[in-house]
Structure 1
Amino acid sequence: MLLSLLRRRPLHSTATLLRFLHHPIPNPTDQSAAASAAAAPATVSYLISSCGLSPSAALSAAEKFHLKSTANRDAVLALLNEHGFTKLQIANLVSKHPALLAASPEKTIKPKLEFFAGIGYTGADLGKLISSDPNLLLVSLEKRIVRNFDLLKTLLGSPEAVVAAIAGSSRLLRYNLSTMMLPNLQTLRDHGVPAPKIVMLATRYPRVLMKKPDHFTKIVKLLKEMGLKPILTKFILAINVMSGLTTATWERKLAVYRSLGWSDKETLMAFTKHPYCMLSSDKKIREVMEFFVKKLHWEPAFLAARPKLLCLSLEKRTIPRCSVFSILESKGLVSWKSGVHTFLLISEIDFLEKYVIKYREQIPEVLEAHQGKLEFVGLQKRYRRS
C-alpha cells in the first residue's frame, strides 16, 4: 500500500515520510468495528424485535441511525401495519432507510400513504412500492409526487396508465420530469411516433424515458437510420432494447452472430424484425442456432429472416413441439414442407388444439412428446430450408 501511494503522490521530505509512518492510513475494518461497537444495543434490539431485521441488518442500520424515543418509531410502524405492509416489507424498508422511523408519522408518512392508497395502491401492493423505493416517503408530496402524477395523467391519458408506468419505475414520481422525461417525449413526437405508441413506451418501459435526453435522441435517430418506422410497435421495442445495450455489448452480439454465419447486414435485418434477438445471452444464441442448423438443417440466412425463433425457449417450446411434429410427420399426418417454423410461433393453445389434443387418442405419444419425455433426434436433410 505504501509503495502504491508513493507512486501516486510522492513524499517530498523526510518529515512528511516520518509523519506518514507514525500516522498510517486507518484500516477500514477497524473503522467498521468501531462503528459497530458504537451502535446502541437498545436500537439493535428494537430493530430485531419490532421491525423484523436480522441481527446483521439491525447492526448495520443501527450504525447509521440511533433511535432515542420509542413513541415516534412505534407510531411509524403502526401506520405501516395499518396500511397492510407485510413484516418482510417493513423489514426491507427499515433496513434501507432506518431514518424513516424518526420521520413524523402525521406530517411526513401518513399523507403519502393515503395518497398512494387513493390511486389504487393498497395492502401488500402499497408495501411493495414503498419498500422498493423508500425515497417516496421522503420527497415532497405536493411539490413533487402530486405534481408529477398530475403531469403524467395529462400525458398518458388516465390514472390507470400512470399507475402502470409507476409500477415500472417509481422514479417517475421523484425526479424532475421537465429535465428528463418531457424532452424525451418531445423527441418521440418530433420523429413521428404516434401518441398510442408513446403511451405504450411510458407504461411498459418507463425507465427508458428517464435516459439523458441527448443519449435518447441518438437512439431514436439511429433506429430511423436503420429503417425502422416510428409508427410501428417494433420501433418502441427497439428503443427499449437499444437503451439497455452498451456499444461493447452491441459489438459482441454482432461478433457472436457473425461467428454463426450471419453477415452484419443480416444481423441488423434480424434486429429490425425482432429487436429482442439482441438481448439473448451469447450462450443461448449459440445453443439455439446450433439446434436449428444441426437438428433441422436450416441455413443461417433462413433464421436471419425469422429471428423470433431464436428467442423461443429450447426446452419448453422448440424441442417439445418439434418432437410432436416429428411423430405426426412419421405417420403421414403433417408435412415439414408446409412450413415447420410456423407451428413454433403459434400460441400454445392453438398448438395444443391442432397437434396434441386432436391426435392424442389416435397417437398417445404426442402427449409425452409435448411434455418433453421423448427425445427429438432431428429431421432428415431433405427438409433443409435456406
Structure 2
Amino acid sequence: MVVCTEGIGVPRGSGMFRQALQSVAFLSKEKVTAKVDYLKKTFGWSDAEVRIAVTRAPMLLQRSKDMLQRRSKFFISEVGLEPAYIAHRPVIIGFSIEGRLRPRYYVLKFLKVNGLLDRNRGYCYIFKIREEEFVKKFICPHKEAAPHLAEDYAATCKGEVPTNFKFA
C-alpha cells in the first residue's frame, strides 16, 4: 500500500499520505491504474494533472465512474471550467451537484447576467465556502434587487429549477 501510495505521487511526509493510504487500501495496483486512466479520459487531464489532482484529493480513487463522469460533465460542459483548473482544485469534485454545485453556480450566473456581482469570484471559492457564508455574501446583499433570489436558491437546492434560473 505504501509503494502504491508513493507511486501515485503522495510522498510519505505529505499531510495527505494517510488519506492516500486509505484510498488505495482495498484497491489492487491494476484498479488504481485503471482509475487513473479513467480520470485522464474523463476530465481530459494529462499525466501531470492527474498526479496533481490525486495528490491533493486521493479520495478521487474511491469515487465511482458514474460520479466522476457526472462531475466532469457538469464542470466542463455546463460551467465551462478548464480541465487544468479542476485538476488544481480537485476537492470540488467531492461536492454534491444537486445540493451545492448547481445551486451556487446558478446564483453566480444570475448575479453576473443581471450585473449584480461587484467582482469576479473563482468557482472554487464559491463552491468551497460554508453555506452560511455563501448566503451572507451572495444572497443577502441582493434582497432588494432580486427579492426572489433566496427562494430560488432554496428551491434549486431541493432539485427544482426556478424560472429565474433558466438561462438561454
Matched with 1:342 is 125
Q: CA deviation at 1:254?
A: 2.1
In structure 2, the gaps of 5 or more residues are none
Letter in 2 for 1:245: L
Matched with 1:286 is 69
Q: CA deviation at 1:357?
A: 2.8
Pair 1:317-2:104 in alignment: no
Q: How does 1:256-335 map to 2 (within 5 A)?
A: 256-260=38-42, 261-334=44-117
- Partner of 1:332, secondary structure, is coil
Q: How does 1:364-379 map to 2 (within 5 A)?
A: 364-371=147-154, 372=156, 373-374=160-161
Structure number with greater Rg is: 1
Q: CA deviation at 1:362?
A: 3.7
Matched with 2:138 is 355
* Counterparts of 1:230 and 1:251, CA distance in 2: 20
* Counterparts of 1:309 and 1:360, CA distance in 2: 28
Could you tell me the TM-score, scaled by structure 1's length?
A: 0.38
* Counterparts of 1:230 and 1:366, CA distance in 2: 47
Could you tell me the TM-score, scaled by structure 2's length?
A: 0.81
| 2:116–2:142 CA contact under 8 A, matched in 1 | no
- Partner of 1:358, secondary structure, is helix
* Counterparts of 2:119 and 2:82, CA distance in 1: 15
What is the CA RMSD across the aligned residues, in angstroms?
2.5
Matched with 1:243 is 25
Q: CA deviation at 1:276?
A: 1.1
Letter in 2 for 1:323: Y
1:224-264 residue CA offsets vs partner (Å, 9 max, x unmatched): 45543444431111111111323343233223222221123
* Counterparts of 2:153 and 2:63, CA distance in 1: 24
* Counterparts of 2:140 and 2:101, CA distance in 1: 18
| 2:8–2:54 CA contact under 8 A, matched in 1 | no
Q: How does 1:1-386 map to 2 (within 5 A)?
A: 219-224=1-6, 226-260=8-42, 261-334=44-117, 337-371=120-154, 372=156, 373-374=160-161
| 2:4–2:29 CA contact under 8 A, matched in 1 | no
> What is the aligned residue count?
161
In structure 1, the gaps of 5 or more residues are 1-218, 380-386
| 1:323–1:374 CA contact under 8 A, matched in 2 | no
* Counterparts of 2:133 and 2:64, CA distance in 1: 29
Letter in 2 for 1:256: Y
Letter in 2 for 1:233: G
